[in-house]
Structure 1
Amino acid sequence: MTDTPADFSAEVSGALMMANLTRIAGWVKLSGTAEELEGLRFLEERMASYGWRTAIEMHDAYISLPSAARVLVDGASIKAITHSFSLSSPREGLSAVPVYLGHGTAEDFAGKDLRGALLLLEGMATPPVAKRATQAGAAGQLHISHHEHIHEMCISPVWGNPSGATRNDLPRTVVGSVSQQDGAAIRDALAAGKRPAVTLHADVDTGWRKTPILVCDLDGPGGAADPFVLLSGHHDTWYHGVMDNGSANAGMLEVARLVAQRHGAWRRGMRVCFWSGHSHGRYSSSAWYADEHWDELDRRCVAHVNVDSLGGKGATVLANTKSTAELRRLAAEAVQRHADQVLKGTRRGRNSDESFVGIGIPSIFGSISAQPHQHEQARNALGWWWHTPGDLLDKIDEANLVRDTRVLLHGCWTLLSEPVVPLDHGATAATLAAELEQLTPSLAERFDLAPIISEVATLRALATAIDERRDASPAAALPAANAALMRASRALVPIDCAEGDRFTHPDALPLAAWAPLQPLRALATSTPGSADEKFIAVDAVRARNRLVHALREATAALDEARQALGG
């Protein structure tokens, strides 16, 4: 009988993780720098000592490193930072009386001539706001932090390295951020009818660099061709980045140490990757790896276990950790067992090196724990020190780090050791069914949803039949059944979590659930009998075809899995 995660979760060593983390904390790991590579060599040494086969892959990445920044208000200097993928300012700075634009929502931008303007905006600098500002022809953005701390940010919406098709989507504004107090003073002056002269100076080094990825492997029982579980997290940091992402790297090392000691009980292999370019290249390493290793990942990768920012001081909420629908049941089990909390089932977002959902690889975790209170606009669930110089060793709670690592270990070991891979495609089908239920009242007399609804029902029934056979499956049936379950993911995950194109990466912008449904949602809100309705209906038919095709591919795969398992 193999170990369960509960059998050896007590072996997670807080002392060893803190010792490793103390070493990791010694480097400032900006993407593509010699110091980053030095820190990665330490991780490589540790992984090799635990019995893993290691290699460092160097690749070209489009990296943006912010440097000096300052802001003058009527000639007086205030503290400021600039951001990754901001333009550098002219030598004399970018000067203007700012235009206050609230939080920079689409509604805030609508109907305004902002060409050449310096925008004053509430909240942290983000890709959606940078994209709107660029499209509006603004010259610059000055963001007001929600508190006294100013957070480093990457503002590019382009996922991974820019291509010939996406390079024009990079931001084309000069961007800076100031504290709440300093920014509020500018905002209040504008509101009082004054015209403060603001000059933004920003120096940003953007260009192609060689960046490293540490890749560590242990094969499954069948050797190097076996399917594998991918465990990954970024290694690059802002400043010393002890929580983000040093603590996750320490947790990855600990999981790798413990599962390697039980290598004989594995059902499949494992690959552990430490990425560069997360913070300064918009997930450039994981996106490059997905592109360059697409065929291998498509054929062999069972699931992606992502990990970020473990063990933060005061991080007591684990109910919001994310997963794709196929792995939500596993995430809920891990969180319940090791934190005694009920998972709320938050959807996977477009962030955190999730470069593999387009291929069709299910994903689990990311940031496992968070602060109990967060400001919705500030997105500071990871603590005030996140992306600031304050992210140091004193922000780690060893007990929280142990707890989070036990959750991580539970997910990894279950994926490694279960005879039938724990992919719950019925849960995926249920989320699509819920979306269709919302559309049915508006489209019932206007558009035929029956082909999609029928395929969803068939998929759910097959998933139920597979669940009933998981524990009584003959060993000879497992390879075929598991391969079929993976093929079902390849059909479902891209239309659930990406846009349905398995060979590109959607932008790092909010993406609706089941994005291929968007034409049907547009049709549901169109005016019946209008010309717009007829145009939109063309898109809706094509969207229905795409969904039905993907569902049929998944259904065929699940039917093969059911038959292999004795159904």
Structure 2
Amino acid sequence: MFSDPVAKEILGALSAERVRRTVETITENIPTRLAGSENGRRMAEFTARVLTEVGAAGRVVNLPGLVSFPGEGRLKLDGEIFTGSTLGQSAPSIPGGTAGRLVDVGPGDARALAEAARRLGQEDLTGCLLLSDLASHPPRQEKLRLAQAAGAVGCVMMNFGPDDGTAIPFGSVKAAWGNPEAGNYAAEVPSIPAIGLSRRDGTALRVQLASNAPEGRIEAEVENDWREIQITLGEIASGQASEFVLVGGHQDSWFGPQATDNAAGTACILEIARVFAPHSDRLLRGLVFGCWQGHETGTMIGSSWIADQEWDRLSRGAVAYLQIDEPGCVGTTRWDVSSNAELRAFHEEIEDELLDGRARIWRKAAKMGDASFLGLGIPMIAAQGGFTDEEIAKAGSRGWWHHSVHNTIDKLDWDEVALHLRLYAGYLWRLCTVPILPYRFAPAAAALTEAIDTLPDAPMGIDTRRLGQAAWHLAGLLGRVDARLAAVGKSAAVADNRAAKINDLVRHIARELVPLSTTVAGRYGQDPYGYSPLAAPIPAIAGLAELEAIAEGEPRLLALTRLRRARNRVADAVSEAAFFAELLLGELD
């Protein structure tokens, strides 16, 4: 697969030592890279300069962002003071602190909140402070959104890691993905304070809360404001086509050096640009690089802004998004990949060759990190070394140091960084040089039909039967499409004009299918970060199976209206995908 002399040259030129030197420069000279701060600006200027030096035409783009500058956070309970951090985008506490009964809600998901309310003999958690565990899903942002909707007056979130761990967690709790708008501000921008405590303190609190819910008070110091923030863009144009692969990762950070998160990822992006730039004449597709900001203290502002601002170009020409975040952490023993099913066979073939038998795990692409392009229908790959389930249980999925001041350069393994570089370059070389896009649609179609087949027949009059018939028709078409694409991909040569027609239709199918499996909001919106329905195979109709279990009256009627419309959106996407599949089969025959 990588026998081409240029491919060998690219893989051979990658240097983990150069990445190490870049990480040292960033962490020593530009620590605490908060979006909207002076160091945030300096970081963007640094990456733009390096991208330009290596031949990738770097430039800084200024944009507005609702960002956060949190300070210390405290919990006062029974005469004791627990000191931690105020979480980003938290509302400030009222003068003297925000008071309420402190209740342990475990993971902080909807079910746990309902159980806690029942224990208290209440309909909801109005007036309560909620203690939740960052080691468990959902993410911080969804924990707070659910708590706020349940009437809570504040949140306390205990860190992951060993039970005696003293690391204080940083993190944003704003569910609104990117900059908010009027329609989602009230529900998705925090109106209650939230603080983070160490695992040790949280564990001690859970013991206290096992038998009662004492009155507590939290103090949260924070400044949330609209600021000018910076992102950095770079590009290596192919000169042969308007298609391109987007490579991105955030360059802002929390307090301290934040070596793994994400100085290392930024350094890897710069290194990849360096080795690809001299070979732009061999690329059938270009590379566009994005170093985002507003990831940490604003919840994906930079990447979502680009999704909106560069909509036309992304919609027409982006064929994939490679997200690079926290590569090369010490202690990782397996390869973790989150991707859309359309790209799974493609990247696993590369991993078979370059991973040397290392264990790996695959998950469906999730709207996490800077996954701001799923609504556009751009399939993505997010891959990095990962911990085993046993290691995660002890230290959290990213290491106990994640989102703390302990995220220092000693948390990077340079042999692991070298492996990451090879995998990333391998993905990109193939994506940029194969004449026919390497998507395979049958796995996505199978997941679609399986999910629809499990739905009840016509719940509350919503037609699931015809939806299922349409999905099975599409699955049949896409099975034939995959077989023909595989055959064409193996042919010695494909005329440029024919390849362009085939790829255009392939992209059209992906533009319909990718949002179906990854979004509720669909093509033109952004779902809240960590939104619980996104875990479903078809998120937009996630509540259809439970519709009749919703309390009668207005709650059920509201859900019925939403789900009927969501069903129709799914039906339209299936129909459109089938239309383009039939056109593609005509082109492939």
Q: Same fold (TM over 0.5)?
A: yes
CA contact (8 A) 1:336 1:342 kept: no
Name the CA shift for 1:374/1:243 in 2 (closer, same or farther; >3 Å). farther
Per-residue CA distance 1:382-439 (angstroms, 9 max, x = gap): 1111101011111110000010111111111111111111122223222213323434
* Inter-partner Cα distance in structure 1 for 2:128 and 2:27: 41
**What is the CA distance between 1:187 and its match in structure 2?**
3.2
Correspondences of 1:216-295 after superposition (within 5 Å) = 216-222=234-240, 226-239=242-255, 240-295=257-312
CA contact (8 A) 1:331 1:343 kept: no
CA contact (8 A) 2:155 2:193 kept: yes
* Inter-partner Cα distance in structure 1 for 2:522 and 2:74: 42
Residue 456 of structure 2 is aligned to residue 454 of structure 1? no
Residue 525 of structure 2 is aligned to residue 514 of structure 1? no
CA contact (8 A) 2:77 2:216 kept: yes
SS at match of 2:362: coil
Correspondences of 1:333-352 after superposition (within 5 Å) = 333-339=349-355, 340-341=357-358, 343-352=360-369
Q: 1:183 aligns with which of 202, 218, 225?
A: 202
Counterpart residue number, 1:296: 313
SS at match of 2:339: coil
> How many residue pairs get matched?
558
Q: 1:205 aligns with which of 194, 201, 223?
A: 223
Q: 1:355 aligns with which of 372, 384, 389?
A: 372
2:525 counterpart letter in structure 1: T
Per-residue CA distance 1:130-180 (angstroms, 9 max, x = gap): 112211222112223344223212111111111010111212221112223
SS at match of 1:261: helix
Counterpart residue number, 2:26: 24
* Inter-partner Cα distance in structure 1 for 2:455 and 2:129: 41
**TM-score, length-normalised on structure 1?**
0.90
Long gaps (5+) in structure 2: none
Taking every aligned residue pair, what percent have the same amino acid on both sides? 24
CA contact (8 A) 1:4 1:414 kept: no
Q: 1:152 aligns with which of 146, 170, 176?
A: 170
**What is the CA distance between 1:22 and its match in structure 2?**
0.8
2:147 counterpart letter in structure 1: A
* Inter-partner Cα distance in structure 1 for 2:360 and 2:504: 28
Counterpart residue number, 2:96: 92
1:206 counterpart letter in structure 2: N
Name the CA shift for 1:379/1:461 in 2 (closer, same or farther; >3 Å). farther
CA contact (8 A) 1:519 1:543 kept: no
Counterpart residue number, 2:132: 121
* Inter-partner Cα distance in structure 2 for 1:500 and 1:109: 25
**What is the CA distance between 1:29 and its match in structure 2?**
0.5
Residue 521 of structure 2 is aligned to residue 503 of structure 1? no
Correspondences of 1:23-102 after superposition (within 5 Å) = 23-26=25-28, 27=30, 28-102=32-106
Correspondences of 1:375-390 after superposition (within 5 Å) = 380-390=396-406
Counterpart residue number, 2:575: 552
**What is the CA distance between 1:379 and its match in structure 2?**
8.2
Name the CA shift for 1:483/1:378 in 2 (closer, same or farther; >3 Å). farther
SS at match of 2:349: helix
Name the CA shift for 1:25/1:2 in 2 (closer, same or farther; >3 Å). same
Q: 1:493 aligns with which of 492, 501, 514?
A: 514
**TM-score, length-normalised on structure 2?**
0.87
Correspondences of 1:412-561 after superposition (within 5 Å) = 412-439=428-455, 447-448=465-466, 449-472=468-491, 473-499=494-520, 501-508=522-529, 509-510=531-532, 511=534, 512-518=536-542, 520-522=544-546, 543-561=566-584
**What is the CA distance between 1:206 and its match in structure 2?**
0.6
SS at match of 1:330: helix
**What is the CA distance between 1:447 and its match in structure 2?**
3.4
Per-residue CA distance 1:351-386 (angstroms, 9 max, x = gap): 111111101111112x41112245778882211111
Name the CA shift for 1:71/1:300 in 2 (closer, same or farther; >3 Å). same
Name the CA shift for 1:551/1:45 in 2 (closer, same or farther; >3 Å). same
* Inter-partner Cα distance in structure 2 for 1:533 and 1:82: 37
**What is the CA distance between 1:489 and its match in structure 2?**
1.2
Long gaps (5+) in structure 1: none
CA contact (8 A) 1:335 1:342 kept: no
Pick which of 119-128 and 159-168 moved more. 119-128
* Inter-partner Cα distance in structure 1 for 2:484 and 2:409: 49
* Inter-partner Cα distance in structure 2 for 1:378 and 1:162: 35
1:121 counterpart letter in structure 2: S
Per-residue CA distance 1:267-320 (angstroms, 9 max, x = gap): 0111001000001111011111111111111111111111100000111210x3
SS at match of 2:324: strand
Q: 2:339 aligns with which of 323, 327, 351?
A: 323
**What is the CA distance between 1:7 and its match in structure 2?**
6.0
* Inter-partner Cα distance in structure 2 for 1:5 and 1:93: 60
CA contact (8 A) 2:145 2:175 kept: yes
CA contact (8 A) 1:159 1:283 kept: yes
SS at match of 2:218: strand
What is the root-mean-square deviation in Å for CA atoms of aligned residues? 3.0
Counterpart residue number, 2:144: 130
CA contact (8 A) 1:31 1:280 kept: yes
**What is the CA distance between 1:53 and its match in structure 2?**
1.3
**What is the CA distance between 1:100 and its match in structure 2?**
2.9
